[in-house]
Amino acid sequence: MSYQKPPFRVGLGFDVHRLKAGRKCILGGVEIPSDIGPDGHSDADVLTHALADAILGSVGLRDIGHHFPNTDKSIEGIDSQIILAKAVAELDKHGYRLVNIDAAIIAEKPKIGPHIAAMKTRLSKTLGIPEDCVGIKATTNEKLDDIGAALGISTHAVALVALK
């Protein structure tokens, strides 16, 4: 029995980072003015990381921690847009193209809403899709748990891909 690639596939991504005073707050490739920012090995862009994981997962690949391990000193502080571009390149290798992405950022701080348009513009360039194919929403955690206490930030993301 021969395998025929499905015409569409979906991937799911999630990322979470602690917030740390004095760190830059980069989300969707955009620096957001804030006294706190996500802490991590790279620029800790939780939105871009969740999107990259969704894209990689859509074609059955492992997460960005496998492709960009936090033990690799050569990529410390890496711009997460590079990670995202490499995830999109993997789609091409597997015969797929990105159709659209959608993401929800969950954070009490900083306020995300005023920066969504800039994030959509930046991400559409990296992803190679129109801005109207980039969905970004922001919500709080209603002051529940560590994210609600402004100790962390997380993102859920999905990606739809189609055969080229």
**What average pLDDT is seen over the chain?**
95
Domain range annotation of the chain? 8-163
Q: Name the fold adopted by 8-163.
A: 60s Ribosomal Protein L30; Chain: A; (3.30.1330)
pLDDT at 67 over 90: no
pLDDT at 71 over 80: yes
What's the whole-number mean pLDDT along residues 131-139?
Answer: 98
Task: Tell me the DSSP string of the chain.
Answer: ------SEEEEEEEEEEEEEET--EEETTEEEP-SEEE-SSS---HHHHHHHHHHHHHTTPPPHHHHS-TT-GGGTT--HHHHHHHHHHHHHHTTEEEEEEEEEEE-SSS--GGGHHHHHHHHHHHHTS-GGGEEEEEE--TT-HHHHTTSEEEEEEEEEEEE-
Q: What is the pLDDT of residue 124?
A: 98
